């Protein structure tokens, strides 16, 4: 029988050990996770990718969440049963991190990262089936929530992502399927964009993890 060791990850000829196994528990090492995330980031996004020291507090919360460290989540007031709403200014690295972090837990179900604007484009072409497709099943991270336009199909306008979030809330209540999202908008802007009902559901759907509003634009 092959022993599963999710904390030991092979990338080409290099092996990364993210922690130590003690009995049936893995004790992860945050610094080792950072080393792996930077190496994997360079493979995915190019040699200029780096983990910034000023982002380590955010990364710590995200890593704790993804490795399902329930005790530390409780101390940090993170609900591991909810999804993540990762907010911050343009270029701070939200999308890259939500693409990267699942790689530290290869044994878990992986979310698909889908730009919110692409979902609206699909709605414009295919109609309300798209809301059903993304609202009623699957494990998704909706990227750049709030930059998408209002959907329009056969002359009928629809706040597509707002409707999908309402459906995802029902999915969360019935089947405990989590949803993640990234956004440049703050709480007031989200409420203005999607309405108070959706904003209320978002509080129950997500843990808010936010970059500082003065975070660097890493794309410059």
**Rounded CA separation 160/148 (Å):** 9
For the chain, strand residue ranges (E) read 8-11, 14-17, 19-22, 25-28, 83-87, 112-115, 140-145, 151-153, 156-158, 180-183, 206-210
At 120 the pLDDT is 97
Q: Average pLDDT in the 168-191 region?
A: 95
Q: Reply yes or no on whether the pLDDT at 3 is more than 70.
A: no
Indicate the pairing of strand 140-145 with strand 14-17: unpaired
At 124 the pLDDT is 96
At 206 the pLDDT is 97
Indicate the pairing of strand 83-87 with strand 206-210: parallel
At 2 the pLDDT is 44
Q: Reply yes or no on whether the pLDDT at 192 is more than 50.
A: yes
Residue 146 near residue 106 (C-beta atoms within 8 A): no
The full set of domains in the chain, from first to last, is 8-210 (3.40.50.300)
0.85 exceeded by pTM: yes
Q: Is 41 exposed, middle or buried (0-12, 13-18, 19+ CB in 10 A)?
A: buried
* Beta-carbon contacts of residue 62 (< 8 Å; ≥ 6 apart): 84, 86, 97, 101, 209
CA distance readout (Å), 172 to 111, 125, 166, 205: 15, 27, 10, 7
Q: Average pLDDT in the 159-166 region?
A: 97
Which of 2-16, 34-48, 64-78 bottoms out in mean pLDDT, i.e. has the lowest?
A: 2-16
């Amino acid at each position: 029988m092959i022993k599963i060791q999710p904390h030991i990850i092979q990338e080409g000829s290099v092996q990364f050990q993210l922690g130590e196994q003690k009995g049936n528990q893995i004790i992860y090492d945050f610094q080792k996770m950072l080393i792996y995330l930077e190496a994997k980031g360079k493979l995915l996004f190019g040699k200029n990718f780096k983990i910034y020291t000023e982002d380590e507090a955010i990364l710590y919360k995200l890593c704790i969440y993804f490795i399902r460290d329930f005790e530390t989540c409780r101390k940090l007031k993170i609900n591991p049963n909810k999804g993540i709403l990762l907010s911050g200014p343009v270029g701070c690295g939200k999308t890259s991190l939500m693409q990267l972090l699942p790689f530290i837990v290869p044994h878990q179900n992986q979310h698909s990262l889908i730009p919110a604007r692409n979902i609206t484009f699909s709605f414009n072409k295919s109609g309300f089936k798209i809301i059903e497709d993304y609202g009623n099943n699957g494990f998704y991270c909706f990227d750049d929530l709030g930059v998408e336009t209002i959907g329009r199909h056969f002359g009928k306008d629809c706040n597509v992502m707002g409707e999908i979030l309402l459906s995802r809330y029902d999915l969360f209540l019935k089947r405990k399927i989590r949803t993640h999202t990234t956004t440049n908008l703050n709480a007031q802007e989200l409420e203005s964009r999607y309405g108070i009902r959706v904003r209320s559901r978002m509080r129950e759907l997500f843990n808010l993890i936010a970059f500082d509003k003065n975070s660097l634009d890493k794309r410059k």
